[in-house]
Amino acid sequence: MFKYQEVSLQIRQQIEEGIYKKGDRLPSIREMIQQYHCNKDTILKALHLLKEESLIYPVEKSGYYVLKNRVPVRNTTKIGLPNPMQFPIEDFRKCLNESVMASYEGASSQKESIRGDRELIEAMVPLLESYGVYAKEGQLSITTGTQQALYILLQLIGTGGLLLEQPTYSRMNQLVKELGIPYQMIEREQMQDTISLEKLEQIFQSGTIRYFYTISRFHNPLGMSYPDSIKKKIVELAEKYQVYIIEDDYMADYERGTATPLHYFDTNERVIYVKSFSSILFSAFKMGIVVLPNAFIKEFEKRKQLLDFDSNLLMQKTLALFIQNGLFEKHRQKMVAHYHEKSQQFRQLLELSEIEKTHLHGTQLLLERSQLSLLKEKLNLEITIDTLEDAYIEEITPEIFSLDVYALSMKHMQELIHLLEERGEVDE
């Protein structure tokens, strides 16, 4: 992390914690130079970041003032919810305005493909490559979020049978039950980044399922990712037994390093890749991308046309401009840096503590159920405890629960650590 980012983070935390309240004047640039032991350029860069987040505003010949206190956001999606204060709303608004003007001028009057806006499809090809997904434009289809894509894919299953990881994305469980899809279950290891390959092969070999739904990276709700060795083996088994994999890669934007999706290892078109953008942009942004094997394209487009021909064409054109102008990548880098910074901060606090029986995957903290009652009673932070019941398609009482520390300030992280240490003392 650069020095200006450290300074920006410290000031941001002071605003979050109410040390600087709405309308308060920040210290002068000269005072901050002395306080943070850096030069003027560093301070100006830090202030620019805070201004972009709409946390502060400048007054000519007076200084910088706090626009609003940023309250940690209640995380209702359990994992990976972006803080709306970090979204570059002005940049996005400019792209939206340009799309609206183009529609008035007739530039958007041409007949659009069922697959989606042509410019967005073109922009998606290099973007998907940055995720490790290599596909041709003809294989791509824009949908109204992940749920629409999964709904259409489940209709294509028919009587083929579906294998579900458990736990998994709660809405996938709901869709499977509501549509009456025949399914089997396989346990996703809750404390390790793996799955029983032996059991997976047995189920594939039985011939009773045709599709396998999995979240290979940043699993929802566990937060963990398969290592590449496991991904390769899963794809090999799918090819061997002619099973299609539905890979939900909703958090692909937060990947850092060389980790790849299952689709990267697929050379025989056995992986159907699904990705949404709400986790990197904002939760109300319902748009997704599906990468289809050639055998599925015609039937998928036919069913999509019946549901939703153009999947909000105006927003498609806006996203295309946002990507083409480099604004998406700029925002993504900022969000990824913040996500991994939060993860590192909490991991360091865990390592310095005496807490046992916890597992941190990204910003997702897994705890044993015995710790649940104390946290529900004493936890007074803007954070959602996920007891994971909805992550199972059948009614069970999970042995673990999870919470996401992404929205917590350093102060609140320390409070949570202290509470968990108290719980450990009680257990002893």
Domain range list for the chain: 3-66, 84-328, 331-425
Query: Taking the model in full, what pTM does it have?
Result: 0.79
**C-alpha neighbours within 13 Å on the C-beta side of residue 262:** 33
Which value, to the nearest 10 degrees, does the dihedral of the CA atoms of residues 308, 309, 314, 315 take? Answer: 50
Whether residue 167 is preceded by a cis peptide bond, meaning omega within 30 degrees of 0, is yes
- Highest average pLDDT, of 42-56, 105-119, 195-209, 375-389, comes from 195-209
Answer whether residue 143 shows pLDDT above 70.
Answer: yes
Instruction: Please give the pLDDT value at position 382.
Output: 59
Asked which of 29-43, 69-83, 87-101, 414-428 is least confident by mean pLDDT, the reply is 69-83
Q: Regarding predicted confidence, which is higher, 236 or 257?
A: 236
Answer whether residue 75 shows pLDDT above 50.
Answer: no
Q: Regarding predicted confidence, which is higher, 68 or 301?
A: 301
How large is the C-alpha radius of gyration of the chain? Answer: 23
Amino acid (1-letter code) at residue 281: L
CATH fold for the domain made of 84-328: Aspartate Aminotransferase; domain 2 (3.40.640)
Angle at 352 between CA 347 and CA 358, to 5 degrees: 55
**Across residues 195-219, what is the average pLDDT?**
95
Distance CA 392, CA 78 (A): 15
Distance CA 93, CA 73 (A): 22
Answer whether residue 108 shows pLDDT above 60.
Answer: no
Answer whether residue 71 shows pLDDT above 50.
Answer: no
pLDDT mean across residues, the chain:
87
Answer whether residue 300 shows pLDDT above 70.
Answer: yes
Distance CA 406, CA 341 (A): 9
CB 395 within 8 Å of CB 378: no
Instruction: Please give the pLDDT value at position 88.
Output: 85
Task: Work out the pLDDT band at 133, boundaries 50, 70, 90.
Answer: very high
**Across residues 200-225, what is the average pLDDT?**
94
Class of domain 331-425: alpha beta
Distance CA 237, CA 240 (A): 5
Task: Work out the pLDDT band at 80, boundaries 50, 70, 90.
Answer: very low
Answer whether residue 409 shows pLDDT above 90.
Answer: no
The owner of tokens 């996500």 is 339
- Highest average pLDDT, of 13-17, 135-139, 373-377, comes from 135-139
Helices 40-52 and 29-36 pack at an angle, to 10 degrees, of: 110
Distance CA 255, CA 97 (A): 31
Number of neighbouring beta carbons within 10 Å of residue 427 = 12
Answer whether residue 330 shows pLDDT above 70.
Answer: yes
Q: Look up residue 267 and give its two tokens.
A: 């050379």
Asked which of 21-35, 258-272, 307-321 is least confident by mean pLDDT, the reply is 307-321
Distance CA 317, CA 217 (A): 28
Q: Look up residue 244 and give its two tokens.
A: 């299609």
**Across residues 269-288, what is the average pLDDT?**
92
Helices 313-324 and 118-130 pack at an angle, to 10 degrees, of: 50
Task: Work out the pLDDT band at 110, boundaries 50, 70, 90.
Answer: low
Q: Which CATH number fits domain 3-66: 3.40.50.460, 3.40.470.10, 1.10.10.10, 2.30.29.30?
A: 1.10.10.10
| Residue 23 Ramachandran class (φ > 0 left, ψ -120 to 50 alpha, else beta) | left
Instruction: Please give the pLDDT value at position 90.
Output: 86
**Across residues 131-144, what is the average pLDDT?**
96
Amino acid (1-letter code) at residue 98: E
**Across residues 65-86, what is the average pLDDT?**
54
Task: Work out the pLDDT band at 242, boundaries 50, 70, 90.
Answer: very high
Amino acid (1-letter code) at residue 216: S
DSSP state of 370: G
Distance CA 55, CA 349 (A): 27
